[in-house]
Amino acid sequence: MPAKQIIMCPPEYYDIEYSINPWMDTNNKVKKKEAQKQYNNLKEAFRKAGAEINELTPVKNLPDMVFACNAGYAESDIFVKANFKAQQRKREAEAAEKYFKQKNYRVFSLPENIIFEGEGDIIRTQSKYFLGWGQRSDLMAKDYIEDITGKEFIPLELIDPYFYHLDTCFGPINDELVVINEKAFSEDSLTKIYDRFQHVISANETDNSVLACNLVVLGKNVFIGKGTSEELKNEIRKFSYNVIENDMSEFLKGGGSVKCLSLEIF
């Protein structure tokens, strides 16, 4: 199997310069050295697990660009560029577009008025595709993404501003196993999740306070933020996965963890 490709963006300009989600407090500045260290540790851990890591060049005045997974959705030779909701993040999509064009991807974009925040709101397993909407991405993005990819997406409605992207509350580990924050979903969407996964692990408050659902899976390894409860880690281990923890405290200040830093190419 070819190595899994992940695009990351070094936290060179990362800081809390504005607040566009409830985790962000402009008085709670980032410790730059610590952020760089946490980022490097995660990158090295991914590499050790066999992933191929490529990096976007960080752009000055784009302090959230470190959260690379929001820049779009990438699958084989297709890149669907994000339309960010916050003015402050819009230029991140252009930087990513440049990168993917250079790598000869076919780049697609949605009409400007339709908000779409990439892999923050698109999460997929081998055979199931989900689109989170209600906080950032628009439900209307679904038809466009389906046309571009030829896949059918299951829409999941998000109702809690703390869990504003699908990847903050929904972490599938494989086609049958998922970790979720139940409270982040409308009743109807929660039913959809239970209908589609044989095993649903419910994250507790401790887990949600460190965005434990914001995980990345590489083979039999699950990468997750430090501070995740022993219960959750043990649940995951029961399905024969290794749990690899990384301190993500500096990135929690921006409202993100492991997955937010990782634009996975499917």
Selected range binding ligand ARG among 19-27, 127-135, 201-209, 228-236, rule: CB under 6 A:
19-27
Toward ligand ARG, which CB reaches closer, 21 or 83? 21
Taking alpha carbons only, the member of 173, 168, 175 closest to residue 154 is 175
CA 106 distance to own-chain centroid: 22
148 binds ligand ARG (CB under 6 A): no
Name the token pair of 129: 């595709």
Q: Min. distance of Cβ 233 from ligand ARG in angstroms?
A: 21
Selected binder of ligand ARG within 11, 14, 45, 70 (CB under 6 A):
70
Rounded CA-CA distance 120/261 in Å is 10
Toward ligand ARG, which CB reaches closer, 70 or 181? 70
Q: Specify whether the CB–CB gap between 130 and 123 falls below 8 A.
A: yes
Rounded CA-CA distance 70/62 in Å is 13
Annotation says 199 is catalytic: no
Q: Min. distance of Cβ 74 from ligand ARG in angstroms?
A: 14
Q: Specify whether the CB–CB gap between 238 and 263 falls below 8 A.
A: no
Q: List the beta bridge partners of residue 124.
A: 129
Among 9, 69, 165, 213, the one annotated catalytic: 165
Rounded CA-CA distance 90/34 in Å is 26
Toward ligand ARG, which CB reaches closer, 20 or 95? 20
Selected binder of ligand ARG within 11, 72, 120, 171 (CB under 6 A):
120
Rounded CA-CA distance 33/28 in Å is 15
Q: Min. distance of Cβ 126 from ligand ARG in angstroms?
A: 21
Q: Binding mask 164-203 vs ligand ARG (x if CB under 6 A, - otherwise)?
A: -x-xx-----------------------------------
CB atoms within 10 A of CB 215: 24
Annotation says 165 is catalytic: yes
Q: Where in the sequence numbering do the catalytic residues fall? A: 165, 260
